[in-house]
A and B are shown apart, each in its own frame.
Chain A
Amino acid sequence: MHIVIVGLSHKTAPVEVRERLAFAPTAMERPLRQLLDLPPLAEGLIVSTCNRVELCAATKEPDSAVAAMRRFLADYHDIALEEIDPHLYDYQGEDAIRHLFRVAASLDSMVLGEPQILGQIKTAYGYAVEFKTAGLILNRFLHKAFSVAKRIRTETGIASNAVSVSFAAVELARKIFDKLDDKGVMIIGAGEMCELAAKHFISNGVTKTLVTNRTFERAEKLAAEFNGRAVPFEQFTDHLAEVDIVLTSTGAPNFILGHRQMEEIIRRRKHKPMFLIDIAVPRDIDPKVNDIDNAYLYDVDDLQEVVQANLKERKKEAGKAEAIVDQEIGQFYQWLANLDVKPTIIALRSHLEKIREQELERTFSNLKDLTDKQKKGIEAMASAMVNKILHKPIAMLKRTQDETSGEDYVDAVRSLFDLPAPSFEDKDIRTLDEPEQ
């Protein structure tokens, strides 16, 4: 079994492309089922955040799976494959494992070491479990990825100095407003990043908090959490002039704040500066708003620029993290490979043992006047024969299990001896799973 990943991220695709390929986090069942319907795929998982879309699968035919997954990503979003193809990457085997480990450990994040991505992958995995598109391999793979991420977080300084998109937003606000004490913030929509940024702002002195949401109850709930005030979504623009900082992260497909509206709001504020942070993908605020005097609009991509300098320190720590990833890949890849070889060996052995037992029984029933000593001798001979016959093939299987040719031998052995296909419910394989902490 192979692990393959097809995806795109902030490193390969601009926000304009990513927002078109994103999967709505509230409706994951359909895409997950469709993904699993692709013939070469045995298990599937979709991670969709504002910075990346990753399709992860377990398959027996990695090349055709990759092709099918690329096609799926285009077809599902009704986009010509040629259009998005240059933005896509794919990984197989060890590279795929490395990729997911790195993503989970935030080594591939826009802000190196930012903590949100792990939660986002956990959520994505939760959906895959809920809709039963993750099986033994992805279960094991994801849990391993989580533990690798956790290990990196505790053993390296990659997450020290809380640098994140949300923190970068606070630093930027300080470059615009100097002090945040007398400033107000409005949170439009809800999202982990948005709430985190709001928390940062509040802990840095912002005193006034307005919250709006299409679902007013959610706005009220969040407002209570932040000691703020909820305003109805329909009238949120009326209250915009009251705040200095806007954090937006709605799932709206179109802009909810346009150029002309913002001009009017800035005028009403007597041109006091406003800092708008659009975390949503697709974006919530018309990018032209940034052209308005005293309005500063940053989208997800822009915030990346800001944190680059702060990331230099973390980059040093990333080296250590990569070493941990390499080490863990080895372990996991070994397990993945064993998954195929071990049951084959077990099946092969039990197949021959069965023959041995049957033949011994038949021989003993024909030769009734054998002494116990003679019986023991014949039994020993049969066992020795089985072991000697098995010795070389098993040694070969074990030796080649880490190589790509290993699967060819497994396949040959299974065909030659007509061994039954391995079941994932196999107890022997189960015991390979370490207990989860």
Chain B
Amino acid sequence: MIVDVLLFKITLLIYFVATICYLVGVITRKEQFNRSAKWILIGGFVLHCITLKVRWLTTGITPVASLHESLSFFAWSLIGIYLLFDLRYRTPMLGAFISPLALALMILGAAAPKKAPAVNPMLDSWWFPIHVTLAFLGYGVFAIAAMAGIMYLLQERMVKSKKFSGLFYRLPSLDTLDSMNYKCLTFGFPLMTMGIISGAIWANSAWGGYWRWDPKETWALITWFLYAALLHGRLSIGWRGRRAAIFAIIGFCCLLFTFFGVNLFLSGEHTFRSFTGE
């Protein structure tokens, strides 16, 4: 228990250093900062994997049962997917947007109570890890889509208004950012869909019903429809660029509400009671 919290804190610190490195790299436009930031991030990610494994072994269930664990898992999937993305797109600017987001999730996770939740027999199912892993990988991919969307809007604004700041030279081309949006959508949407389906199957085995209109389920469905609309718009109507970027950002906001808002404002089966330490 103490070991995994300590590991978590070290991971957070490493992510913090990586974030600073990315930001310094973007401001000073020095390549070496971006390079070291990436390696620091990789180091942090490896440690994060160990942290999650230790937590898993300690609590005995997939470490997504409490808010603290979920936030940590969210940050982990976000960084993991970013690192995969970086293999393809190699854009340190994206890192400068992703790492602060992951850091924010980690800080929130550090604020949440770290006590292991009482083992709920419902969670003791193979569907649980499948459901949460798919869902969080989807979250990570959509987070990247949203960040790429913000970058797109920034860059598009500069190209359109013909007023350029230093960021203009650092941000990737509009085409690259738009293709990230598309890539994220083609990966994120199936992940999310499978996440929801696996959740429904799991719910059926646990409660004997596929869908119970629990607030989280409802919001997940709303989010799913948003992304479905975007995917449809992209594939058949030719949505792209600004509209797709805005959609990706709205979709991610919706997703964050599904994740946080439902826990904080609404109640249902997905609510983490451990948020208040109970």
Residues of A within 8 A of B168 (CB): 175
- A window 109-153: CB within 8 A of B: none
The complex places the Cα of A305 from the Cα of B169 at a distance, in Å, of 14
User: Could you list which residues of chain A lie within 8 angstroms of chain B, going by C-beta atoms?
Assistant: 172, 174-179, 269-273, 290, 293-294, 296, 298, 302, 305-306, 309
Residues of B within 8 A of A306 (CB): 162, 164
| Binary per-residue interface labels of chain B (222-261) against chain A in the complex, 1 for a CB within 8 Å, 0 otherwise | 0000000000000001111111000000000000000000
| A296 interface neighbour in B160, B238, B243, Cβ under 8 Å | B160
Residues of B within 8 A of A175 (CB): 155, 159, 168, 173-174
Question: Known: A177-B173, A178-B176, A309-B164. Contact between A271 and B159, CB under 8 A?
Answer: no
| Interface pair A273/B175, CB less than 8 Å apart | yes
Question: Known: A178-B175, A296-B159. Contact between A270 and B164, CB under 8 A?
Answer: no
Residues of B within 8 A of A178 (CB): 172-176
With A177-B175, A272-B240 already in contact, 8 other A-B pairs whose C-beta atoms are closer than 8 Å: A176-B174, A177-B173, A178-B175, A269-B238, A290-B160, A293-B241, A293-B242, A294-B240
| Interface pair A271/B164, CB less than 8 Å apart | no
B163 at the interface (CB under 8 A from A): yes
The interface centre, meaning the residue of B163, B169, B174 with most chain A CB atoms within 10 A of its CB, is B174
User: Could you list which residues of chain B lie within 8 angstroms of chain A, going by C-beta atoms?
Assistant: 155, 159-160, 162-164, 168-169, 172-176, 237-243
Closest to A176 in B: B174
Residues of B within 8 A of A296 (CB): 159-160
Closest to A171 in B: B169
Question: Known: A174-B173, A176-B175, A177-B175. Contact between A273 and B241, CB under 8 A?
Answer: yes
Residues of A within 8 A of B175 (CB): 176-179, 273
Q: List 18 A-B contacts (CB under 8 A).
A: A175-B173, A176-B159, A176-B173, A176-B174, A177-B174, A178-B176, A179-B175, A270-B237, A271-B239, A271-B240, A272-B238, A273-B175, A293-B241, A293-B242, A294-B241, A294-B242, A306-B162, A309-B169
| Interface pair A293/B243, CB less than 8 Å apart | yes
Residues of A within 8 A of B162 (CB): 298, 302, 305-306
Residues of B within 8 A of A302 (CB): 162
**What is the predominant secondary structure among interface residues of chain B facing chain A?**
helix
The interface centre, meaning the residue of A175, A176, A178 with most chain B CB atoms within 10 A of its CB, is A175
Closest to A305 in B: B162
Task: Tell me the minimal C-beta distance from B237 to chain A in angstroms.
Answer: 8
Residues of A within 8 A of B242 (CB): 293-294
Task: Tell me the minimal C-beta distance from A2 to chain B in angstroms.
Answer: 41
Residues of A within 8 A of B240 (CB): 270-273, 294
| Interface pair A271/B173, CB less than 8 Å apart | no
Closest to B168 in A: A175
| Interface pair A172/B241, CB less than 8 Å apart | no
Question: Known: A305-B162, A306-B164. Contact between A270 and B174, CB under 8 A?
Answer: no
| A271 interface neighbour in B169, B172, B174, B241, Cβ under 8 Å | B241
The complex places the Cα of A298 from the Cα of B161 at a distance, in Å, of 10
Task: Tell me the minimal C-beta distance from A172 to chain B in angstroms.
Answer: 7
Closest to A183 in B: B175
| Interface pair B163/A305, CB less than 8 Å apart | yes
The complex places the Cα of A298 from the Cα of B162 at a distance, in Å, of 8
Closest to B244 in A: A271
Task: Tell me the minimal C-beta distance from B153 to chain A in angstroms.
Answer: 12
Closest to A175 in B: B173
Residues of A within 8 A of B172 (CB): 178
Residues of A within 8 A of B241 (CB): 271, 273, 293-294
A-B pairs, 8 with minimum CB distance: A270-B238, A178-B173, A178-B175, A271-B238, A302-B162, A178-B176, A177-B175, A305-B162
Residues of A within 8 A of B164 (CB): 305-306, 309
The complex places the Cα of A294 from the Cα of B162 at a distance, in Å, of 14
The interface centre, meaning the residue of A172, A176, A290 with most chain B CB atoms within 10 A of its CB, is A176
The complex places the Cα of A273 from the Cα of B239 at a distance, in Å, of 11
Task: Tell me the minimal C-beta distance from B233 to chain A in angstroms.
Answer: 10
Closest to B179 in A: A178
Residues of A within 8 A of B169 (CB): 309
